[in-house]
Amino acid sequence: MSKSIHTTHKDLKGLTREEINDQFGDPHSDLAQLAKKSALKKSVKQKRKQDIIFESWV
């Protein structure tokens, strides 16, 4: 089952620098969710590349 994180850059649009800095320390903020989503997407892409390379060797 895949993970769904429904946060986009548009959710942060219009916020002031101070508001974004306030969200930086909060683990439940939109900014933290966006960071988790980015890290998850990066790891999934890397795993897919490794699987493709592994399959080509077999």
Total number of domains constituting the chain: 1
Largest CA distance in the chain: 53
Structural domain boundaries enclosing 33? 10-57
Q: Could you tell me the pTM of the whole model? A: 0.70
Encode 2-53 in three state secondary structure: CCCCCCCHHHCCCCCHHHHHHHHCCCCCHHHHHHHHHHHHHHHHHHHHHHHH
Report if residue 3 sits inside a domain: no
Instruction: pLDDT tens for the chain, 58 residues: list them.
Output: 467 778 888 888 999 999 999 998 899 999 999 999 999 999 999 999 999 888 887 6
Nearest of 36, 16, 40 to residue 26 by alpha carbon: 36
Report if residue 21 sits inside a domain: yes
